[in-house]
Amino acid sequence: MIAGDLMGSHAIRGVLFDKDGTLIDYQASWAPTNLKAGRLAAQGDPELAARLLTVAGVDPATGYAISDGLLASGNTEDVAEAWAEAGSPFGAAELTERLDTLFCSVVVAAVPVCDLAALFASLSGRGILLGIASSDSEVAVAATAERFGLEPHLAFLCGYDSGHGAKPGRGMVDGFCRTTGLPTEAVAVIGDSTHDMHMAAAAGAGLRIAVLTGAGSAETLRPLSHLLLPSIATLEQALFG
């Protein structure tokens, strides 16, 4: 059992998942919306939209995000502030609101990396407490959980606006632990970005698991994680053999 080998006497009793790039395939789910976000922030000006997308670490031709770019790893406020400074005609506060509304639309087109409901049901059946911690809004996280039938298995969910702080700070892990009563050493944090791994390390999470279904790369994630997986489809085998 990998978790036991890595943690010694501590057993994993909780798993905190990132959402985008972990539960859902980031590029397949977000590329079209990234392009829409750029156009929205630029009020339809194609040259400005291309410039804003580049600032946010997105290819303006495809909508694909680069490893640890702002749209892939940051939250809506981060993106809005950067775009306001880079020339968007909207102020940061108004742009944050507009982007959050747009980003909620991703739920409908989100491409899951595996049968999420089956995975969550199986983990929950083992007595594992589950949570989702995302840089998206709490509304979008809840909508994603509802769409994929994860709600019955969740002990915790949060977004950047839930009051637990933002990644890569440790607050979301602390919130999960307060809600579940678990010590941080008994929690595995799973994500696709360096922000997720830094959050887990800052909180002292027992296990840091990186996946390659987001914008992060093996080169950047391997040094920061205890375990690197192609996707969460192999999570149970990795944890329990």
Sign of CA pseudo-dihedral 179, 185, 186, 187: positive
Q: Are residues 157 and 177 in the same domain?
A: yes
pTM of the predicted structure, to 2 decimals: 0.93
Q: Are residues 149 and 88 in the same domain?
A: no
3-state secondary structure of 158: strand
pLDDT higher than threshold 70 for residue 77: yes
Q: Are residues 234 and 135 in the same domain?
A: yes
Residues 24 and 211 sit within 8 Å (Cβ to Cβ): no
Give me the count of residues in the chain: 241
- Of 109, 128, 151, at which residue does a domain stop? 109
Residues 6 and 225 sit within 8 Å (Cβ to Cβ): no
pLDDT digits (tens, 9 = 90+) for 184-225: 999 999 999 999 999 999 999 999 999 999 989 999 999 999
**Angle in degrees, CA 79, 65, 97, rounded to 5:** 25
Q: How many CB atoms lie within 10 A of CB 181?
A: 11
How far is residue 226's CA from residue 2's CA, in Å, rounded to a whole number?
A: 9
Q: Are residues 126 and 165 in the same domain?
A: yes
pLDDT higher than threshold 60 for residue 4: no
pLDDT for res 68: 79
Q: Are residues 105 and 116 in the same domain?
A: no
Range of the domain at 137: 2-25+112-240
Q: Are residues 16 and 118 in the same domain?
A: yes
pLDDT for res 9: 41
**Total of domains in the chain:** 2
Q: What is the DSSP letter of 67?
A: T
